[in-house]
Structure 1
Amino acid sequence: MSTSLLTAVGSLLLLIPIVPLLTYVIGLLLPASHIVSRKRTLKGINQADLWQVLVDVEKHPEWRPRVNKIQLNHESCTDDRIVFQEHNTRNRTIVVIHVHQVPYSRLLRILQEIPTFSGSWTFELEPVISDTATAPNTDVDQKKENKEEQEEEHQDQVDLKITQQGVIKKPLLRVIYMLVLGLERRIDIFLDDLERKIQNQQQHDNHQIHISTTTIDQMTPTNIGVMDYSIMSTSNLPKDDKEGDVKEGETTTASDTKELEREETLPPMESLTPSILDESKDISASSASLLSKDKNNSSGWDMVSEIYERTK
């Protein structure tokens, strides 16, 4: 019993130095250089905005949790090249160079993490193109509508492909990255952080749109300038309006008020008694007789003048 226990302990003691040695040997057998790539469709962002997010390196710590600080080397920066140092949460510094090979389409990221990793990332941005094709017998208008719908559907979708070409010099790290963690691990972390940043930005934009839409709805013309006449005090109204026939609690418009005032200035038909009608008839008859007398007087005056002239 004791012999078997001693044998097991001795075997473990022999394996402890053998495991690192064996790992080192496997690392030597693995190639130091590698090429891996990842491609992901990012929704909710267009190609120009995605490019701006990638090249605006000073804001990378805002959406990359593993990056503490970005320090630009202004002396080495040009219009198509940005040189900076990336300080991560593991207290390591990575020297990075961004080269704008094709604006809004292709970006080269050269990085060197001493002594772990050195290599480059190539970012390729392509707009999403729909694979669905229209039927050959459809009308021209229908084809145009389908094309417009497809463009509208994919206008905020971009395919981002990252190709990593790297060299891992240490054999032990080569085994860890190639056989345990995976060579695509850094790319996957970067894409996850980028996708999370786009989703948060999209939620923020939708919230702002909702707030602005609610504000506009509250300021529509139907809600502006509406006056509640039912709460108006009768003490502020003219005396004639108080004595009108408007019932308490009813509202009147400006046209109704003018109509009531005009009706009050005219006497009602029932108030015209027969005596008043007779007086109006007498006045009309007297005016007619006066007109006839004026005509007779004017004609008589003309005849006297003519006789007087003839006697001369």
Structure 2
Amino acid sequence: MKRIIIGMLVLIAVAFAVVYGVGLSLPQNHVAAVRAEFAASPEEIFETIADFRAHPEWRPSVERIEELPARAGRPAWVELGATGPLPMELTESEPPTRLVATILSEGMPFGGRWIYKIEPTATGATVTITEEGEVYSAIFRFVSRYIMGHHASASLFLSDLGARFGEDVTVDIVR
């Protein structure tokens, strides 16, 4: 029995070392982009994304929003959900084609920004989200890359946005 416990502890230590080592070898920064087509107009999409206070109404992963004091006149908030608090700031807004939300990453294991590009089409709009991310922890870099995937959060956002408009959208990874 003692050998089994020691063997399991060694196996756990080796697995942790491998995860940590692989995480260290990954770059701290990454860029990941996803895109989806919508029947909704660019104006409707822009207004929906920009209204962060209403995100809990259509994004199931966001339980509530807590507003923060404006930063240099720009809106700031904390998204609260199952994955914990995520402090954000709206750093760029060019209606109805571009929004940039930046993570207020002080004390967070990751940071970066999401760039929302909204382009009109003949039947609605195409939305592209580009994540310019930074993952500071080697363990979280491994998890982000190999378990969650860099595209997962933005893909979920676009799927939720489609549901908000009653659309079943196909999310494509942009290469």
Could you tell me the TM-score, scaled by structure 1's length?
A: 0.49
Mapped partners of 1:115, 1:100: distance in 2: 22
**Structure 1 residue 184: Cα displacement:** 0.6
Residue from 154, 159, 163 that aligns with 1:187:
154
Deviation sequence 1:256-276 (CA, Å, 0-9, x none): xxxxxxxxxxxxxxxxxxxxx
3-state SS in 1 of match to 2:166: helix
Alignment of 1:62-211 (within 5 A): 62-76=57-71, 78=73, 81-90=74-83, 92-112=84-104, 114-129=107-122, 154=123, 157-199=124-166
Which of the two has greater helix per residue? 1
**Paired residue for 1:30, among 26, 36, 51?**
26
Q: Which runs of 5+ in 1 are unaligned?
A: 130-153, 201-312
2:38 alignment partner in structure 1: 42
Higher gyration radius (CA)? 1
1:70: how far off? 1.3
Q: 1:19 to 1:119 in 2, by over 3 A?
A: same
The one-letter code sitting in structure 2 at the alignment partner of 1:61 is P
Residue 77 of structure 1 contacts residue 83 of structure 1 at CA under 8 Å; is this kept in 2? no
Higher relative contact order (CA 8 A, sep 6+): 2
* Corresponding residue pairs, total: 166
Provide structure 2 residue ranges, at least 5 long, that are not aligned to the other structure: 168-175
Contact 2:43–2:95 (CA under 8 A) maintained in structure 1: no
Q: Distance in 2 between matches of 1:34 and 1:21?
A: 23
In the other structure, the counterpart of 1:16 is: 12
Displacement of 1:86 after TM fit?
Answer: 1.5
Q: Percent identity, aligned pairs only?
A: 22
Paired residue secondary structure (1:199) = coil
CA pair 11-68 structure 1, distance change in 2 beyond 3 A: closer
3-state SS, counterpart of residue 196 of structure 1: helix
**Normalization by structure 2: what TM-score?**
0.84
Cα 1:9–1:72 change in 2 (3 A) is closer
